[in-house]
Amino acid sequence: MSDLQRTLRVDLGERSYPIHIGTGLLDSAALFEQAIGSRQVMVVTNETVAPLYLRRLLDTLRTFDTHHVILPDGEEFKQLEVLNQVFTALLERHFDRGCALVALGGGVIGDMTGFAAASYQRGVDFVQVPTTLLSQVDSSVGGKTGVNHALGKNMIGAFHQPRGVIIDVTTLDTLADRQLSAGLAEVIKYGLIDDPEFFAWLEDHIEDLRRRDTRALVHAIERSCADKARVVAADEREAGRRALLNLGHTFGHAIETGMGYGVWLHGEAVGAGMCMAAELSSRLGLIGPDLVARIRDLVARAGLPVDAPENLDSGHFLELMAVDKKVRDGKLRLVLLKGVGEAFLCSDFDRAALEAVLKQRAERT
């Protein structure tokens, strides 16, 4: 085990599980044997990841009765009909209730595999092997699984915790720069929510992360997972505190929907969304303009946009925010900032300030 390897525990009572982070973990048969308590193992991956890492993983899993299924790659395939391919693969191999699924890929593969595991014979084990920065720092913790419906994202799913998460940071070597930056948006988010020390560390190390320095990546992923795990452990079913994880997301979802899914990456929309949340906080007198500048600077250095797209007018933007699923009883709730590491949930804010934030883009550009 290299000195770079870290293990942290997500504390959820009897559903607690470890997250292992390090280099070369894809080849660690011992780690997988520890994580998987089953004989029958189904690896679920996609057409992009399979040529890169599937052989290696299957080789590592050779002591199990292992099969695999390769799904098409892309958010548009995150739907019930494609999910059914996983069930078909499991049933064709006569997989029983004692089997385990292994998700090898990014967030879409993780969400679909997790939901397949939650639903197959009413629940079997699964292990995550996330291969994108976004899925490593986001989907590894929280137990949210599911698929999209034609009428809404992530509308069908389950809370289902993995038995373990194995993060091999060397899989990031094959990740496109743009995808890496998108993952960094969520990393920055954890610092802003409740970890000011981590935010300061990111200001010093964002370039190290972009050039994929292993030591920096392991630290950032470990800290992000630990930060998220703390929030989730306090609120597994998303009643209160967990909503803070939506910092930048209500703005972000409006951008994603307004531009058409896939035009902006989720992380890019969240990056701009966090800057907008900071600006709104500043207009409401919660933080100073210097902090807004600091946040915009870090987001920009992460390779992310800091403003919403120009061709999304503020009226339409507001409409899109109003249909976000975090809206309750018609009230828009936003995560705002009182400082770095001091995010809070607010539904009682001056709407004129929000409209001003949505309009100011035009002035700046």
- Supply the minimum distance, in Å, between the C-beta of residue 68 and a second copy: 18
Which residues, including other chains, have CB under 8 Å from residue 277's CB and lie 6 or more apart?
A: 247, 248, 251, 334, 335, 336, 337
Residue 159 or residue 349: which is nearer to a second copy going by CB?
159
Catalytic hit among 238, 294, 316, 342: 238
Residue 325 or residue 359: which is nearer to a second copy going by CB?
325
Residue 276 or residue 332: which is nearer to a second copy going by CB?
332
d(CA 307, CA 242): 25
Q: Give me the residues that bind a second copy (CB under 8 A), please.
A: 80-81, 83-84, 87-88, 91-92, 94, 96-98, 118-123, 144, 146, 149-152, 155-159, 323, 325, 327-328
Which residues, including other chains, have CB under 8 Å from residue 354's CB and lie 6 or more apart?
A: 280, 318, 334
Catalytic hit among 62, 94, 122, 237: 122
Strands 6-10 and 17-22, by their bridges, are antiparallel
Catalytic hit among 249, 283, 296, 361: 249
**160 among known catalytic residues:** no
- Supply the minimum distance, in Å, between the C-beta of residue 91 and a second copy: 4
Residue 121 or residue 179: which is nearer to a second copy going by CB?
121
**294 among known catalytic residues:** no
CA atoms within 13 A on the CB side of 301: 16
Catalytic hit among 163, 219, 223, 253: 253
- Report the candidate in 108, 105, 118, 101 with the shortest Cα–Cα distance to residue 157: 118
What end-to-end distance do the CA atoms of the chain give, in Å? Answer: 50
**20 among known catalytic residues:** no
d(CA 176, CA 57): 21
Catalytic hit among 78, 160, 223, 228: 228
What the block records as the tokens of 50 is: 């399979």
- Hey, how many other C-beta atoms are within 10 angstroms of the C-beta on 108? 24
**266 among known catalytic residues:** yes
DSSP category for residue 176: -
d(CA 223, CA 177): 21
Catalytic hit among 219, 242, 283, 361: 242
Residue 96 or residue 207: which is nearer to a second copy going by CB?
96
- From residue 92, give the alpha-carbon distance in Å to each of 65, 284, 302, 311, 358: 14, 58, 45, 49, 52
- Supply the minimum distance, in Å, between the C-beta of residue 348 and a second copy: 20
**238 among known catalytic residues:** yes
- Supply the minimum distance, in Å, between the C-beta of residue 120 and a second copy: 7
Q: Residue 197: which H helix or E strand, with range?
A: helix 196-210
**246 among known catalytic residues:** yes
- Supply the minimum distance, in Å, between the C-beta of residue 235 and a second copy: 14
**149 among known catalytic residues:** no
- Supply the minimum distance, in Å, between the C-beta of residue 255 and a second copy: 21
- Supply the minimum distance, in Å, between the C-beta of residue 287 and a second copy: 31
In single-letter form, the type of residue at position 166 comes to: I
Residue 93 or residue 210: which is nearer to a second copy going by CB?
93
- Hey, how many other C-beta atoms are within 10 angstroms of the C-beta on 316? 14
Catalytic hit among 144, 160, 223, 283: 144
Output the DSSP codes for 302-313: TT---S--TTS-
Contact by Cβ (8 Å): 163, 126: yes
**154 among known catalytic residues:** no
Residue 159 or residue 344: which is nearer to a second copy going by CB?
159
Cite the active site residues.
122, 144, 186, 228, 238, 242, 246, 249, 253, 266
